[in-house]
């Protein structure tokens, strides 16, 4: 004879999680700036995904030549005007979202892959492991990423790939700092000590207790860094060490456009505005995420 | 003659994610000059929020006054302008708080903080602000009045260098600065060691005696209240359920909740007498019980309790909010 | 007490030295993994193999790595950062020439950032979640998101080209004679010499770049100050000060600000180094002859010694700034004063 307990439905089993998620959605939606950020990020992703099918002149992305059309002011046919090669700037600005997306994802991805394990190791194991990792991190943090990236690009040679490599190599220390502090605090939490007391191994503790509790700040930082990484890559493009024209990249476009100022103002204005909007979107979005996921640390 | 403090039908809510929590629901409380009144209730019954409301220290929003009024010497606290408010705080009402560790600013010396308060009172009362040196001397006097040794040296120290009991004394000295008419003490001894608790309570009793202060003492501890107060107000889930002279309340409680509360206190003198907890939980204020807020936990509840909210009424010298107060004795 | 402070300082100075050595290691590694050949670059496109070899020997590039590293480190210790292939001058000399211009810009921007950021952060905190707060926060995020190089161009368009109020670039008009050099900072030098017209000209040139450079710094000061203020304003001791009748102005501007300033100070220290880094972009846009422009033009020419020199200089600045902040913390926070 058995008393078969009826298995509760999905909503009942995950009531706490669902309630938490509803709370997150409620607080996120309450902030207009967070919602604006979300909207911009979604627009950015949509343009990156469907850009080639949306833009009026998809061929202009890789740089066509249409000299009869060069440096035309914005019009119905060319919303953002045309550049010195006669390419449609609207098409190029939209197509460049794809470049920015992979640039941002690569830099942030590599940075988390290097930084998070190092940070966890430093915070959890402590002792000399922590000493060595944190000292090296501090050294990297003492020079702004852009300058260090400039130095690396100077050595590797200009180009978007080298720019991304350079930025990826200098971006990780922030994650070490972030995760180290968190892991250090978690190490002496009662539930971690309890796990250790019942004989759980390091691997198990790290995977089940430390890492999951570090994810919120990592997600927040990663979403903010998406914007900043895109901005940095564009900066390298602007000073002439990143992407090279005619590759569609916002920073490089502005770099060329600078020589056409002030008469052909639209050439620089629209790509720059695209950078601004993208970085703004990711920052607002990350800010909103932080407010709900990690409200104790809303620091600059 | 106007009462010193008169709270009528005061209703306060906090707006949050899950809706509006009705934290205080129609509080009725009058305190005459010279009285010593204790407010007792479980954690979360709204007693601290009520205390803060008196000096208008509740953040709005998220707080929101839904109705009623708090009058201090006949003046509506929520209608006060900036100057009246400055006079009210410290000069009319002074407060002592629960955890002395966090109520002193860590980056200023005791002296600086006390001088600030002293000078602020000068201004609020329309006097010329006295110079720092004079304020310093007055601060030393006040510290001596709360029985702190070597007040001059103490003024140069920082909060983290003091023990909990010393800090609470410093905070009491600050509260005395403006010669307040009403002293509101919100769990003044809860965070202290038991031995220090007794000292601080004795000090408060002495100050009330010698200075003729009116005291509103808030505590979850009936013993603390009994030691200092002539009159006791019992709160439950944001309402006043009983208000009576201390002796009458302890001996013949009229409200079932008060009885439960008294029965829940272990009696060291009678070890065979087991403390009886009140069954059930404090209600969710987002969706408070209808009628009497205590009815789901009440052993005497009848159908009427779930429908009609009982009002405070006079029964046998007590003011009780219970439909069955007559039978409860 | 005094001995402890001295010990603390000495420890920090030693640590700074160690970190600087680490940085030297990094810059040396970076310049040696380079696929491009600095000697070939220096010799120019038409150089023969022999000429390149001569240059290689002249610069010591033919030596084993360990020896090159040793020479580099001992050189750095003696202030020898190598020779710039582009300017043909020693890098240290170039840095001495360009750094004052950058310092001038950064000091100006930092002042601007603090003067605007701190009050704006306070105001935002006091009006938390009301319209002005939303506006200020949005502005702060905007200022971080604005690409400095792009916004600089827009400002030039508006103020220099359209309105013709301010000059486009450089530090002085060609027609203005530079003031006698004391510090290398034109604003200061012209003041010291009492040359008001020169001062005005230098200031007009500095306004736009300093403004653009100050944005990210201003934004982070604002955000940190706001967050701290909100926390402090909700703290028990502020409630207590209010309850005791201390005036709202004094509660906010003296009691709360003093507490909130500690973390704000830390961010100011951090931003000092970051700002020096951002000059790379701002100086490029405004043609401001500082270390940022120097680093960029050297990097484009594939000349790393100057880039490494600039990197080291910025790193050193950052380390000094954080040392200063740590010391100030000790002065401002009584808990640390007695605890350490």
Distance of residue B20 Cα from the nearest chain C Cα, in angstroms: 18
B95 interaction partners in chain C (CB closer than 8 Å): 240, 243-244
pLDDT at residue C340, rounded to an integer: 42
pLDDT band at residue C38 under the 50/70/90 scheme: low
The answer to whether A26 contacts chain B (CB < 8 Å) is yes
pLDDT band at residue B329 under the 50/70/90 scheme: low
B17 interaction partners in chain A (CB closer than 8 Å): 23, 26-27
pLDDT band at residue A296 under the 50/70/90 scheme: low
Domain assignments of chain A as residue spans, ordered by start: 34-297
- Cross-chain Cβ contact B116/C255 below 8 Å: yes
Which whole number is the average pLDDT over A14-19? 80
Distance of residue C112 Cα from the nearest chain A Cα, in angstroms: 18
Candidates B57, B109, B161; nearest CB to C243 = B57
pLDDT band at residue A300 under the 50/70/90 scheme: very low
Which whole number is the average pLDDT over C99-115? 94
The whole-chain average pLDDT of chain A stands at: 84
Which other chains touch chain B, taking contact as 3+ CB pairs less than 8 Å apart? A, C
pLDDT at residue C213, rounded to an integer: 94
pLDDT at residue A215, rounded to an integer: 87
B177 interaction partners in chain C (CB closer than 8 Å): 244
Asked if the model's pLDDT at residue B214 lies above 80, the reply is yes
Question: Domain spanning A34-297: which CATH class is it, in words?
Answer: mainly alpha
Token output for C302: 């594939």
Query: Shortest CA distance to C15 belongs to which of A134, A28, B190?
Result: A134
The answer to whether A27 contacts chain B (CB < 8 Å) is yes
Whether C324 is covered by a domain: the verdict is yes
- Cross-chain Cβ contact A299/C263 below 8 Å: yes
Encode pLDDT of B2-11 as tens digits.
788 999 989 9
Query: Shortest CA distance to A181 belongs to which of A154, A156, A213?
Result: A213
pLDDT at residue C339, rounded to an integer: 47
pLDDT at residue C37, rounded to an integer: 66
**Which residues lie below 8 Å from residue C16, measured CB to CB, with a gap of 6+?**
C319, C320, C323
Token output for A106: 């690569």
pLDDT at residue A1, rounded to an integer: 45
Looking up residue C139, the CATH number of its domain turns out to be 1.10.3720.10
B128 versus A115: the higher-pLDDT residue is A115
Structural domain of residue C271, as residue ranges? 91-339
How far CA C297 is from CA of B75, B140, C28, C302, in Å, comes to 73, 66, 20, 9
- Cross-chain Cβ contact C277/A146 below 8 Å: yes
pLDDT at residue A108, rounded to an integer: 95
Candidates A144, A234, A268; nearest CB to C277 = A144
Phi, psi of B37 (to 5 degrees): -115, 135
Which whole number is the average pLDDT over A177-196? 83
Centre a 10 Å sphere on the Cβ of residue C231 and count the other Cβ atoms it contains: 17
Encode pLDDT of C240-262 as tens digits.
888 888 888 888 888 888 888 88
Do you know the residue count of chain A? 300
Distance of residue B18 Cα from the nearest chain A Cα, in angstroms: 8
**Which residues lie below 8 Å from residue B97, measured CB to CB, with a gap of 6+?**
B103, B171, B186, B187, B188, C236, C239, C240, C243
Encode pLDDT of B290-305 as tens digits.
888 888 888 888 888 8
d(CA B267, CA C338): 45
Q: Please tell me the least confidently modeled range out of A152-166, B227-241, C42-56.
A: C42-56
Distance of residue B102 Cα from the nearest chain C Cα, in angstroms: 6
Interface of C with B (CB under 8 A): 129, 234-248, 250, 254-255, 258-259, 262, 332-335, 338
Whether C86 is covered by a domain: the verdict is no
pTM for the structure as a whole: 0.80
Split into its structural domains, chain C has a count of: 1
Whether C323 is covered by a domain: the verdict is yes
Which whole number is the average pLDDT over C98-125? 93
Which one of B15, B16, B18 makes the best mutation probe of the A interface by having the most chain A beta carbons within 10 Å? B18
| pLDDT more than 70, % of chain C | 93
CB pairs under 8 A between A and B: 3
Q: Please tell me the least confidently modeled range out of B54-63, B235-244, B272-281.
A: B272-281
pLDDT at residue A101, rounded to an integer: 92
Asked if the model's pLDDT at residue C275 lies above 50, the reply is yes
pLDDT band at residue A247 under the 50/70/90 scheme: confident
In terms of CA atoms, which chain C residue is nearest residue B119? C246
Candidates C244, C334, C335; nearest CB to B90 = C244
Whether C96 is covered by a domain: the verdict is yes
| pLDDT more than 90, % of chain C | 21
Which one of B59, B97, B105, B161 makes the best mutation probe of the C interface by having the most chain C beta carbons within 10 Å? B105
């Amino acid at each position: 004879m058995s008393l078969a307990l009826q298995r509760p439905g999905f909503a009942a089993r995950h009531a706490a999680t669902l309630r938490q998620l509803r709370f997150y959605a409620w607080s996120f939606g309450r902030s207009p700036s967070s919602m604006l950020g979300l909207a911009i990020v979604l627009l950015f992703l949509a343009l990156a995904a469907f850009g080639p099918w949306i833009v009026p002149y998809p061929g202009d992305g890789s740089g066509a030549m249409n000299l009869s059309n060069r440096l035309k002011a914005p019009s119905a046919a060319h919303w953002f005007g045309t550049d010195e090669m006669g390419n449609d700037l609207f098409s190029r600005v939209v197509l460049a979202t794809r470049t920015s997306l992979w640039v941002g994802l690569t830099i942030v991805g590599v940075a988390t892959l290097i930084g998070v394990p190092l940070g966890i190791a430093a915070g959890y194991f402590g002792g000399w492991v922590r000493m060595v990792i944190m000292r090296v991190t501090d050294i990297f943090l003492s020079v702004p990423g852009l300058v260090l990236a400039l130095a690396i690009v100077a050595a590797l040679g200009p180009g978007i790939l080298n720019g991304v490599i350079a930025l990826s190599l200098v971006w990780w220390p922030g994650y070490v700092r972030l995760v180290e502090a968190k892991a250090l605090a978690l190490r002496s939490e009662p539930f971690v000590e309890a796990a250790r007391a019942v004989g759980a191994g390091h691997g198990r503790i790290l995977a089940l207790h430390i890492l999951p509790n570090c994810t919120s700040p990592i997600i927040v930082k990663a979403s903010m860094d998406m914007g900043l990484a895109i901005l940095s890559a564009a900066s390298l493009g602007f000073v002439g060490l990143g992407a090279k024209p005619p590759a569609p990249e916002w920073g490089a476009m502005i770099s060329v456009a600078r020589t056409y100022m002030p008469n052909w103002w639209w050439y620089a204005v629209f790509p720059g505005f695209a950078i601004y909007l993208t970085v703004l979107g990711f920052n607002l979005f990350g800010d909103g995420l932080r407010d709900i996921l990690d409200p104790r640390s809303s620091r600059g | 003659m106007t009462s010193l403090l008169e709270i009528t039908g005061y209703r306060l809510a906090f707006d949050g994610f899950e809706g509006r929590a009705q934290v205080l629901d129609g509080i009725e409380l009058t305190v005459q000059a010279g009285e010593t009144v204790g407010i007792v209730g479980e954690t979360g019954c709204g007693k601290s929020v009520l205390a803060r409301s008196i000096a208008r220290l509740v953040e709005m929003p998220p707080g929101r006054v839904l109705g009623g009024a708090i009058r201090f010497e006949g003046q509506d606290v929520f209608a006060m302008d900036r100057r009246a408010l400055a006079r009210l705080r410290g000069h009319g009402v002074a407060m002592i708080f629960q955890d002395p560790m966090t109520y002193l600013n860590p980056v200023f010396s005791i002296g600086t903080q006390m001088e600030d308060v002293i000078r602020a009172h000068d201004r609020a009362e329309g006097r010329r602000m006295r110079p720092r040196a004079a304020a310093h001397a007055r601060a030393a006097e006040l510290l001596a009045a709360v029985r702190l040794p070597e007040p001059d040296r103490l003024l140069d120290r920082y909060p983290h260098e003091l023990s909990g009991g010393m800090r609470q004394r410093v905070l009491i000295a600050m509260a005395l600065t403006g010669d307040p008419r009403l002293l509101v003490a919100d769990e003044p001894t809860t965070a202290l060691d038991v031995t220090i608790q007794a000292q601080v309570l004795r000090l408060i009793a002495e100050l009330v005696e010698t200075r003729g202060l009116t005291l509103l003492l808030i505590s979850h501890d009936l013993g603390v209240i009994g030691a200092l107060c002539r009159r006791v107000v019992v709160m439950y889930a944001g309402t006043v359920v009983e208000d009576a002279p201390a002796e009458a309340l302890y001996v013949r409680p009229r409200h079932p909740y008060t009885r439960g509360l008294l029965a829940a206190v272990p009696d060291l003198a009678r070890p065979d007498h087991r403390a009886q907890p009140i069954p059930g939980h404090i209600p969710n204020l987002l969706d408070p019980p209808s009628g009497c807020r205590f009815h789901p936990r009440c052993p005497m509840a009848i159908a009427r309790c779930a429908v009609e909210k009982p009002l405070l009424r006079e029964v046998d010298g007590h003011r009780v909010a219970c439909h069955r107060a007559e039978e409860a004795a | 007490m005094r001995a402890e402070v001295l010990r603390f300082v000495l420890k920090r100075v030693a640590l700074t030295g160690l970190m600087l050595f680490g940085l030297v290691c990094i810059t040396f590694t970076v310049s040696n993994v380079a696929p491009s050949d600095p000697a070939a670059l220096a010799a120019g496109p038409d150089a023969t193999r022999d000429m390149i070899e001569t240059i290689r020997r002249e610069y010591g590039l033919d030596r084993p790595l360990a020896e090159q590293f040793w020479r580099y480190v001992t050189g750095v210790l003696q202030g020898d950062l190598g020779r710039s292939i582009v300017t043909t001058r020693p890098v240290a000399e170039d840095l001495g020439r360009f750094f004052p211009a950058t310092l001038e810009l950064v000091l100006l921007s930092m002042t601007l950032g603090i003067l605007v950021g701190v009050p704006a952060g306070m105001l935002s905190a006091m009006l938390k979640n009301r319209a002005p707060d939303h506006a200020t926060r949005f502005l702060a995020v905007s200022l971080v998101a604005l690409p400095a190089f792009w916004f600089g161009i827009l400002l030039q368009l508006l103020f220099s080209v359209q309105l013709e109020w301010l000059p486009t670039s450089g530090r002085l008009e060609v027609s203005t004679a530079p003031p006698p050099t004391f510090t290398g900072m034109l604003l200061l030098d012209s003041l010291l010499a009492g040359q008001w017209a020169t001062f005005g000209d230098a200031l007009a040139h500095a306004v736009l770049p300093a403004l653009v450079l100050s944005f990210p710094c201003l934004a982070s000061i604002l955000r940190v100050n706001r967050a701290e203020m909100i926390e402090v304003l909700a703290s028990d001791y502020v409630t207590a000060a209010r309850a005791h009748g201390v005036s709202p102005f004094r509660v906010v501007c003296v009691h709360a600000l003093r507490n909130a300033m500690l973390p704000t100070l830390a961010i100011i220290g951090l931003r000092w180094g970051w700002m020096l880094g951002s000059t790379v972009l701002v100086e490029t846009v405004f043609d401001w002859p500082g270390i940022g422009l120097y680093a960029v033009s050297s990097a484009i020419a594939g000349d790393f010694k100057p880039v490494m020199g600039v990197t080291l200089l910025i790193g050193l600045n950052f380390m000094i700034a954080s040392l200063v902040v740590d010391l100030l913390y000790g002065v401002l926070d009584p808990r640390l004063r007695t605890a350490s």
